[in-house]
Structure 1
Amino acid sequence: MIAGMAAALALGALTFTPQSADGLWVGPLKPLSDQAMMNCRQADLDGDGLADLLFDHGVWFQRGGGFPAEARGVLPREADGKLLDTHGGLLYAVGGGELLVFSWDGGKFKEDHAQCVEWPGAGPDPSGSGGRLGRFLHDVDGDGRPELAAAAEDGLVLFSWRNGQYAPAGLLPVYPGLQLVQMHDRPLWPRARRALAFPARQMLCDVSVMNMAVSVFSRGPGSAGSFVHERTHYPLGFKENGFAFEGEPAVWRGQAVPEHVRPCRLNPDNVPDFAGHRRARSGGRNLEVSLLETWASLDGGDSFTVRRSVCLPQFLPQAAFLDLDGDGLSDLVTEGTELFDGGVRETVSRFMTGRTVPHRVRVYRQEGGGVSTAPTLDFRTSLDMGGPLWKSPPRFRQYQAAELVSLAGDFDGDGFRDVLVRDREDRAAVHLVRGWKASDRPDTVVAVPQGSRVTVAD
């Protein structure tokens, strides 16, 4: 059974209400993002102003702060095997040569529109039950009715609403050129292993559809294991009942950046950001320990801010960048342990006799175009592993997978993300963050079954 809990404030106290949620899956945060991986999409499908949960097989409506079993519906059978997306409270399903649009009315989905459409690509398997959640609706012209966008072999295909139906509105050749795939050295001996090899060509890019523009982000090899990223921004205009390029594209080409960083969006400006992790070893001490370096660039890769933390060799935090205070800027987060503080004797003693892991979370606020030098939030906690560390109990493995501490949820709704700590096997403790200060003691604890996983989706 999967259980969900909704947080609520009652007379100043934070309480959690458990609810059975079989079929809901919540995973870790997406890399370099503050959004949790989920097997559903949030959308207001019944028009009550509350976010409902759309699955590939049905929909759960929000009622009274939860998703009760009596407020759940199934998707129309006509949507089986199709790609699904939502816009303006409507459900769109495309595939199998047709486009269907549904609205929720009187306890069931009602078909509002149906038409034939030549959708590129093979699409989902029509023999399966349910659909597949996707992203193909984009309001390109800003008129409130979305356009349909699909990736075809030759470029991006757009469909727009004209004369009561969707019609092709342009093929935009926005893909960068193909590149030869780097091949490993081929053996010359023995003679039987000699062979001619013709390298394949490939192209990888990210395409973003926005208001009257399309942006394409790609990368190419640099020197000594580095990469050079390029962004091409295509302004769009109207032409013959469709869209076409308008003017020359704007091309941004960055400096070569290390292989361990990836492009991301850490603030709302127009400059590409880069972030990533790199492992290193400490020096200048009796006991060499593993360091995790968190890298961030806010100026397109011209310069990098690096913050280091001592951690176990296998440990990788699930969220390196979070907008902790709700100002629209992603703050840098490091997590580490104090297991290795002191000398060799102290460390060995902790592993042989200790049952707890001291854990430390530091958040460096993004402000003024940079990241603070000193941590703006510094939080310490102790995690009970349920047994001696040298025996590697199950919770110790959960700790190494970064499953025991989360900053993903704002439980009291004040705009600051709070700290949830699985400090014991049978409970999860919530430390509220107020004005960049986390509570030293738990503000509330939630009893959880032993052997369970605790994840947060806010």
Structure 2
Amino acid sequence: MIAGMAAALALGALTFTPQSADGLWVGPLKPLSDQAMMNCRQADLDGDGLADLLFDHGVWFQRGGGFPAEARGVLPREADGKLLDTHGGLLYAVGGGELLVFSWDGGKFKEDHAQCVEWPGAGPDPSGSGGRLGRFLHDVDGDGRPELAAAAEDGLVLFSWRNGQYAPAGLLPVYPGLQLVQMHDRPLWPRARRALAFPARQMLCDVSVMNMAVSVFSRGPGSAGSFVHERTHYPLGFKENGFAFEGEPAVWRGPAVPEHVRPCRLNPDNVPDFAGHRRARSGGRNLEVSLLETWASLDGGDSFTVRRSVCLPQFLPQAAFLDLDGDGLSDLVTEGTELFDGGVRETVSRFMTGRTVPHRVRVYRQEGGGVSTAPTLDFRTSLDMGGPLWKSPPRFRQYQAAELVSLAGDFDGDGFRDVLVRDREDRAAVHLVRGWKASDRPDTVVAVPQGSRVTVADVNGDGRSDLVVSGPSDAPDVTVHYSGGGTP
């Protein structure tokens, strides 16, 4: 329990303890991922076994489940303007022609290693204050000491530890070839708008560094607006104090898939998955409504599962795929509204006189190599907009931005993600999910300021999700409500 802080209102065993956290930012989940976007990195920098928070300007150490102001430190001045990463409790800073390694010792950072290094790319602005968080440390050979990886113009550059310092360990030409950029039609009239355009070329790819291998994922144009994705897996071996390709690369080339889907990882198998959204319009009704189609392929793009929901034209869920039950398989999530149920008269009446939006969440479980036909979890709630819908009150705009309902958090640590609902402007209600059943009434209610924004992340790394409450854009106040209690 964090000293000096009172627990938030709790209707059950689950409790939340608030603490000021100005400077922390937590955004929505990364696209097609279950990881929240944050402006910091979790790492145990002081060796006490607890997750600390590394920012580009400082570090917050965890004490008693939170991050009190007296346990916050600054980064070494030598790290200013450099790219930052951590491994094994050490802080690495690279840029400006040098590599520095620091450890936390006696209440401050101590420099353990310094050397010159020719790092590709311009890097951060050396005149800026603080550094920039990145990911350039990868234990390629599995010996416990990380290699350094950097994207250069000609390929991936690796540095490995030899004779007491890091030295170049190979340039791996893993990038795909350049492709012509698709150009839009250019006007011929009026004459003043005519211009010659020379074709440009580009290369886009995702590079993953893993244990003695590098994997590259790229896409190229198909027919009729489709795209073809390709994955090349390069096994690595040791050669002359460095790394080199070993054997022939394994190439996977998928079928042409629609432009609105992207490659992702929805289960642990080796087959690439694809997912995305597409908007459609309903047919056969007096009142045409907007439909949101959620697409998923678990077989490399050969076939797609599609689930549809009725929603507002601007609405897009922040998380369409989540591992709801902790089995390692991402389940398909749809969100929609029942505002348009009935006929034209009923819908117009709701918009003119109603203050609430009926919202529905359905989760389709991934099992047996596919997605369930019927929803495994079906949750309904009603959201107070704080005013008539036709006036488009601020909360109605928050609803259209999908900020009022979230399945991103597991607040009691039982392995099931729970439902967070901003059903009123002054509170956030948590409905626990147990055995694919969400509680009808809130298990816990946390009071939040009006106009605030609530996001979800496991800030202290204890296996229970926390609430991050930030003020309006002109108010930088941030409070983290750390979860506790419950029945994991």
TM-score range, shorter chain: over 0.9
Distance 1:429 1:341, change over 3 A: same
The residue number in structure 1 matching 2:114 is 114
Q: What's the offset of the Cα at 1:157?
A: 0.1
SS in 2 for 1:3: coil
Structure 1 alignment gaps of length 5 or more = none
Give, in whole Å, the separation in 2 of the partners of 1:265 and 1:208: 13
Distance 1:213 1:6, change over 3 A: farther
The residue number in structure 2 matching 1:426 is 426
Q: What's the offset of the Cα at 1:440?
A: 0.2
Give, in whole Å, the separation in 1 of the partners of 2:4 and 2:261: 35
Distance 1:18 1:8, change over 3 A: closer
Residue-by-residue CA offset, 1:180-236 (whole Å, 9 max, x unaligned): 112222334455544332111100000000000000000000000000000000000
Distance 1:397 1:9, change over 3 A: closer
Q: Is the 8 A contact 1:4 1:19 kept in 2?
A: no
Q: What's the offset of the Cα at 1:161?
A: 0.4
Q: What's the offset of the Cα at 1:51?
A: 1.1
Give, in whole Å, the separation in 2 of the partners of 1:52 and 1:313: 41
Q: Is the 8 A contact 2:9 2:447 kept in 1?
A: no
Q: Is the 8 A contact 1:3 1:19 kept in 2?
A: no
The residue number in structure 1 matching 2:273 is 273
Question: Which one scores higher on RCO, CA 8 angstroms, separation ≥ 6?
Answer: 2
Give, in whole Å, the separation in 1 of the partners of 2:10 and 2:389: 39
Distance 1:3 1:260, change over 3 A: farther
Q: Percent identity?
A: 100
TM-score (norm 1): 0.97
The residue number in structure 1 matching 2:289 is 289
Q: What's the offset of the Cα at 1:284?
A: 1.3
Distance 1:443 1:5, change over 3 A: farther
Q: Is the 8 A contact 2:8 2:18 kept in 1?
A: no
Q: What's the offset of the Cα at 1:176?
A: 0.3
Structure 1 residues 184-195: aligned runs within 5 Å:
184-195=184-195
Residue-by-residue CA offset, 1:60-92 (whole Å, 9 max, x unaligned): 111111111111111000000000001111110
Q: Is the 8 A contact 2:11 2:444 kept in 1?
A: no
SS in 1 for 2:220: strand
Q: What's the offset of the Cα at 1:331?
A: 0.7
Give, in whole Å, the separation in 1 of the partners of 2:45 and 2:70: 16
Q: What's the offset of the Cα at 1:268?
A: 1.0
Give, in whole Å, the separation in 2 of the partners of 1:107 and 1:372: 53
Distance 1:345 1:365, change over 3 A: same
Distance 1:281 1:192, change over 3 A: closer
1:232 equivalent to 2:229? Answer no
Distance 1:397 1:455, change over 3 A: same
Give, in whole Å, the separation in 2 of the partners of 1:79 and 1:161: 21
Give, in whole Å, the separation in 1 of the partners of 2:197 and 2:268: 45
CA RMSD of aligned residues (A): 2.3
TM-score (norm 2): 0.91
Give, in whole Å, the separation in 2 of the partners of 1:59 and 1:52: 7
Distance 1:392 1:58, change over 3 A: same
Residues matched between the structures, number: 457
Residue-by-residue CA offset, 1:248-273 (whole Å, 9 max, x unaligned): 00000000000000001111111000
The residue number in structure 2 matching 1:399 is 399
SS in 1 for 2:456: coil
Structure 2 alignment gaps of length 5 or more = 458-488
Give, in whole Å, the separation in 2 of the partners of 1:394 and 1:370: 39
Distance 1:191 1:395, change over 3 A: closer
Residue-by-residue CA offset, 1:349-401 (whole Å, 9 max, x unaligned): 11111100000001111111111111111100000000010111000000000
Q: Is the 8 A contact 1:229 1:255 kept in 2?
A: yes
Indicate the larger mover: 40-49 or 114-123.
40-49
Distance 1:352 1:188, change over 3 A: closer
Indicate the larger mover: 185-194 or 414-423.
185-194
Distance 1:294 1:52, change over 3 A: same
Q: What's the offset of the Cα at 1:4?
A: 15
Indicate the larger mover: 189-198 or 310-319.
189-198
Q: Is the 8 A contact 2:7 2:18 kept in 1?
A: no
Residue-by-residue CA offset, 1:148-190 (whole Å, 9 max, x unaligned): 0000000000000001100000000000000111222233445
Q: Is the 8 A contact 1:8 1:14 kept in 2?
A: no
Distance 1:235 1:446, change over 3 A: same
Distance 1:43 1:7, change over 3 A: farther
